[in-house]
Structure 1
Amino acid sequence: MKISHKLILGFVGIATLTGAIGAIAVEQQSQAAKYLARQEAEEVAMLLGYFANHELEVQKPRSPMEMLAKLQNHVLALHNQRQRDIEIVDRNKIILADVIPEDIGKKLDHDHNNEVGQTIQDGKARAYIEISDEYPQGIYLIAVPFKNSQGATIGAVILEYTPLYKAAMATAQKSILATSIITLVCGLLALIAGSLIANHISKPIQKLQKAVLNLAAGKLDTRVTMNCQDEIGELAIAFNKMAKDLQSSRWELLNTNEQLRDEISERQQKATELQAALKNLQNLQKTQAQLIQSAKMSSLGQLVAGIAHEINNPVSFIHGNLTHVEKYAESLINLIELYQQHYPNPVAEIQAEAENLELEFLQEDLPKTVDSMKIGTCRIREIVRSLRNFSHIDEAEYKVVNIHEGIDSTLLILQHRLQAKAGLPAIEIIREYGNLPMVECYAGQLNQVLMNLLANAIDALEEANSKRTTQQLKDNPNRITIRTSIIDSQWVQIAIADNGIGIPETARHNLFNPFFTTKPVNKGTGMGLSISYQIITETHGGKLEYVSTPGEVTEFIIQIPTHQKVLATV
């Protein structure tokens, strides 16, 4: 909004305020006139009641009829003098005296809001307007209590004060008219003064505003010329000085900006080259770590496969010959028993040798020894089969496998870390296997993920053991829980939980990033979880998530599709 408009609006406001004050004054004068008319009527009615009551008590009428006649005379006398309607009623609003004799003895009913009845009850005067067929324009009435000399209210006096009201309003009209004229003149003078002042101030300001807009548009050679010597003239001088300084500063800024632009361009080019080199270095480090991890797993697989192969041959030879040994031992024992049956008394030399060999114990223990050897070789063969399953030396890279066999094989490799050592309790493995189908996956890579997650769980338990007391270890023993289940018949879920130290909240957003680790220095490379995440999400099209409560429990959840058809649509 322009200043001229604001000034005009300000003076309009002053004019409006003046008018409002005048209207309030007019209203106050009108109310004062009404109040004075009412007060005069109330005093007349009170005096009428007082003198009527005083005269009745002094003269002491001999009968009620004489008393009513005297009241009627007072009413008619006042009516003849003032030309006003007057009525006197008792406590039941029965008319005792009236300018219209025919109404005497009737009940008063022209106070529609029971103003007269309320006056009789509480002794307070009340004014009201009576509108009827006789007085369609209405007449002004006032009711005052009619009291005896003891002050008890015995009725009410109703007096018309319409002439008083009209006279008071006629007197007030002159004052109201004068006030209205003065208010109107003051308002017009305020509007004229506001218009003149706004015109005198707004033109120089508009000129200065136009110069400011030109300056903002880039026309720095803009200057303002004013002849006035007031504050606006001083503002114009200050504006011209500012415009001159701004024009000078602009040239300096343009020169400096050109130099900065060249420097920024050069630095941006160097930063781009540096970012590219840093990105290549990060990719190289990530690839190197992945290759190292893959090489470790490959070497471990080859080592396990070689050991399994070397153990498998002699164990298979031993296991195969144990059947023959068992038969031979059984035949020899039968033969000895047959000799003992037919030759119960052998020569002394044979008897001595039998006692020296503890022949009876030998006959009883030899079959047990052979059975123990068979059990041992079977166990060794199972271990070899688990090692071969872990290394997958006899399977294609992508194959349908039993997930539970992969988990058991991985646990077998980590068996030495699960045992009790150095006064610390063993780690209990709880298997809660579901009824899983055969799963299409990269078995070797999936075993690598299982190895990373289980090794991390063991590390977390070992770190927790170093911080827990003996009693805490008894109350909360080391435990790793492995749960498997099928989801929607198309996904397999593997959950690995430990009751170690948990994962801090600060690591939540970086846990699967390369080279990020929560382990102490020289303990972890920060690539295990990153590679595991890549194998599950990218290679298998699955999900790898975790939930953790710091200081209590951590659970990693693997979800992968069961079939290649589902894998292709992920």
Structure 2
Amino acid sequence: MKISQKLTTSFLGVAVLMGTIGSLAVTLQSQVSQKRAVEEAKYVAETIAYFVSEHLEKDLAGKNKSLTAVDLERLQHNITRLHALKKRDIEIIDRNGIIIADVVAADVGQHFADDEHGEVRQTLKDGIPRTFIEVSNDYPQGIRQIVVQLKNDESGEIFGVMLLEYTNLHNEIAIATQKSMMAILSITCVTSLLAVALGYFISASILQRIEELRQASLNIAQGDLDYRVEMESKDEIGDLAISFNKMANHLQESKTELVKTNQKLVSEIVERQQAETELHQALQNLRQMQAQLIQTEKMSSLGQLVAGIAHEINNPINFIYGNLVLTQGYTQDLLDIVSLYQAHFPEPGEKILAKVETIDLEYLIEDLPKMLASMKIGANRIREIVLSLRNFSRLDEAELKAVDIHEGIDSTLLILQNRLKAKSNHSEIEIIKEYGQLPLVECYAGQLNQVFMNIINNAIDALDEFNQQRSSAEIQAKPSTIRIRTEVIHGEWIAIAIADNGGGISQEIISKLFDPFFTTKPIGKGTGLGLSISYQIVTDKHYGKIWCNSAPGKETEFIVQIPIKQQLPAGKIRNKELKT
């Protein structure tokens, strides 16, 4: 609200308050006047009643307390004279309710019938004066009546009551009160108009200067610190204008200092931000390098251990495998000799027969070649496992070399064979191979096998977690599978796609899959480094690409693309868009 409105409202409020007080005063005066009229009427009525009571007492003294015709005529004469003097209706009613005197002579002797609410009867009963308004055909507007008792002062006996009209007295007082009310209302209206006019002129006298100060404040707030107020009045607003100009001068000086300080601070902040960015990047690189070194060291140690175990197992298994061939031949020769002895000596001695029966020679002849054959198959299986371990570790191929990608994938699957088999708490995972015709690919075979190991391991974990949420019937209806697909792209690249039919991954998680230390596995089951290191091996070491396609409820597919030969500049390969 503006100051002019506030001042006008304040003065108007004062005027309204004065009018309210005046109205209350008028109302109070009206009530007092009403009471005063009643009291005056009561006084007059009681005075008249007193004299009437004395005349009645004298007339009734020594008699049978009944008025004669002369007494009634005298009483009627007095009432008529009093009515002629005061212009007021007067009625005298005895205690039986009979009118014994009235300004209307025709009503004398009749029973009083206008006591609609019983005021006359109540006064005859308890002697308490009462006022009421009598409405009739002759007085449609009603006349005001007061009823008082006529009684013996000594005995307190009530002779009757007297009705006195006090309408004229009430109207006189009401007219006087109305005049007072009109005077007060007129004064209130004039005072209100004067208050509003005074508020308007006072506000108008100061509003212009305040508006100048307000406009100056807006200019200062909008940055115009050169704006000044020109005001020469020697009142409080003039002092405020002087203070405002001083403030504007200080703000101008402060702004100049602030601009200089701000420029210096911005420069320092930029330098600090650059330093913090470099430090953060260095720290991030250090953490990634540290994690990669730890993981590389682990894989190197694991590779050396696997290679050592494979080498140690390879020698004795080769010895066993080579001797099994000879043992199978020697055993067959011995069995042939036994057959010749049986043919040429059909009647052996009792001891020989007993021994033949003890060792069950026929079963031995039948089962021994099978046992040697199974031992040969087992030894050959061990040789294949040892070869796969050697292929996976690739310690002898640490440099860039053309290798068979399918051989590395198969070696990885052989190592993970135990996790793919069905167990009590783990359903079987079927491997579906969709191998294309791939040439030998130049790569770091050991590191690429590590990528395959990480992706397939994560696929197995995802299927295990998904199967825990499914029933046996659902697992039988939709068995767990890992599909491995390879193909050549544009004649220069190969793509390896590894997909599982688990529960899928949301886009929010996909965007963080290759971040260092990000993992969705429980604490203790994942480090968050596998896919991060795989990303670095594919992109930094082989200048390729790796990404994930998935959605909740759909299969999750990791796609690795690397060039067949590594002679192209890294930047061109890394930025080249590829499509399968």
Q: TM-score range by the shorter chain?
A: 0.5 to 0.7
C-alpha offsets along residues 532-552 of structure 1, whole Å, 9 cap, x if unaligned?
A: 112112211211122102133
Distance 1:484 1:554 in 2: 16
- Give, in angstroms, the shift of residue 420 of structure 1: 2.5
- Give, in angstroms, the shift of residue 217 of structure 1: 11
Q: Secondary structure at the match of 1:394?
A: helix
C-alpha offsets along residues 24-79 of structure 1, whole Å, 9 cap, x if unaligned?
A: xxxxxxxxxxxxxxxxxxxxxxxxxxxxxxxxxxxxxxxxxxxxxxxxxxxxxxxx
- Give, in angstroms, the shift of residue 391 of structure 1: 0.8
Q: State the AA in 2 paired with 1:549.
A: A
Aligned counterpart, 1:116: none
C-alpha offsets along residues 269-291 of structure 1, whole Å, 9 cap, x if unaligned?
A: 55554444433322221111101
Q: Secondary structure at the match of 1:550?
A: coil
- Give, in angstroms, the shift of residue 464 of structure 1: 1.3
C-alpha offsets along residues 518-539 of structure 1, whole Å, 9 cap, x if unaligned?
A: 3333432222212111211221
Q: Secondary structure at the match of 1:220?
A: coil
Q: Answer yes or no: is 1:302 the counterpart of 2:308.
A: no
Change (3 A) 1:370 1:522: closer
Q: State the AA in 2 paired with 1:505.
A: Q
Aligned counterpart, 1:328: 330
Aligned counterpart, 1:220: 226
Q: Structure 2: which 5+ runs fail to align?
A: 1-217, 233-239, 574-580
Contact residue 402 and residue 439 of structure 1 kept, 8 A: yes
Q: Secondary structure at the match of 2:454?
A: helix
Contact residue 421 and residue 428 of structure 2 kept, 8 A: yes
Aligned counterpart, 1:485: 487
Contact residue 221 and residue 247 of structure 1 kept, 8 A: no
Q: State the AA in 2 paired with 1:220.
A: D
Distance 1:259 1:396 in 2: 59
Aligned counterpart, 2:456: 454
- Give, in angstroms, the shift of residue 460 of structure 1: 1.1
Change (3 A) 1:494 1:221: closer
Normalising by structure 2, what TM-score? Answer: 0.55
- Give, in angstroms, the shift of residue 401 of structure 1: 0.9
C-alpha offsets along residues 277-324 of structure 1, whole Å, 9 cap, x if unaligned?
A: 433322221111101111121122112111211111111001111111
Q: Secondary structure at the match of 2:313?
A: helix
Q: Secondary structure at the match of 2:396?
A: coil
Distance 1:217 1:550 in 2: 55
Aligned counterpart, 2:254: 252
Q: State the AA in 1 paired with 2:412.
A: T
Q: State the AA in 2 paired with 1:406.
A: G
Structure 2 residue corresponding to 1:366, chosen from 357, 365, 368: 368
Normalising by structure 1, what TM-score? Answer: 0.56
Aligned counterpart, 1:10: none
- Give, in angstroms, the shift of residue 218 of structure 1: 7.5
Contact residue 225 and residue 252 of structure 2 kept, 8 A: no
Distance 1:522 1:276 in 2: 32
Aligned counterpart, 1:408: 410
Q: Answer yes or no: is 1:514 the counterpart of 2:516.
A: yes
Q: Secondary structure at the match of 1:564?
A: coil
Distance 1:437 1:325 in 2: 41
- Give, in angstroms, the shift of residue 325 of structure 1: 0.8
- Give, in angstroms, the shift of residue 469 of structure 1: 2.8
C-alpha offsets along residues 132-186 of structure 1, whole Å, 9 cap, x if unaligned?
A: xxxxxxxxxxxxxxxxxxxxxxxxxxxxxxxxxxxxxxxxxxxxxxxxxxxxxxx
- Give, in angstroms, the shift of residue 495 of structure 1: 0.3
Aligned counterpart, 2:563: 561
Aligned counterpart, 2:542: 540
Q: State the AA in 1 paired with 2:451.
A: V
Q: Structure 1: which 5+ runs fail to align?
A: 1-211, 227-237
Q: State the AA in 1 paired with 2:358.
A: N
Change (3 A) 1:332 1:562: same
- Give, in angstroms, the shift of residue 501 of structure 1: 2.6
Aligned counterpart, 1:463: 465
Change (3 A) 1:319 1:259: same
C-alpha offsets along residues 383-423 of structure 1, whole Å, 9 cap, x if unaligned?
A: 11111110113335211111111011111222222222343
Contact residue 542 and residue 566 of structure 2 kept, 8 A: no
Distance 1:276 1:537 in 2: 23
Superposed, which structure 2 residues align to 1:367-386 within 5 Å?
A: 367-386=369-388
Distance 2:483 2:396 in 1: 30
Change (3 A) 1:505 1:219: closer
> Alignment identity in percent?
52
Distance 1:371 1:507 in 2: 52
Distance 2:340 2:422 in 1: 52
Q: State the AA in 2 paired with 1:321.
A: N
Structure 1 residue corresponding to 2:433, chosen from 431, 436, 446: 431
- Give, in angstroms, the shift of residue 482 of structure 1: 0.7
Contact residue 387 and residue 409 of structure 1 kept, 8 A: yes
Contact residue 410 and residue 450 of structure 1 kept, 8 A: yes
Distance 1:490 1:417 in 2: 34
Distance 1:436 1:426 in 2: 29
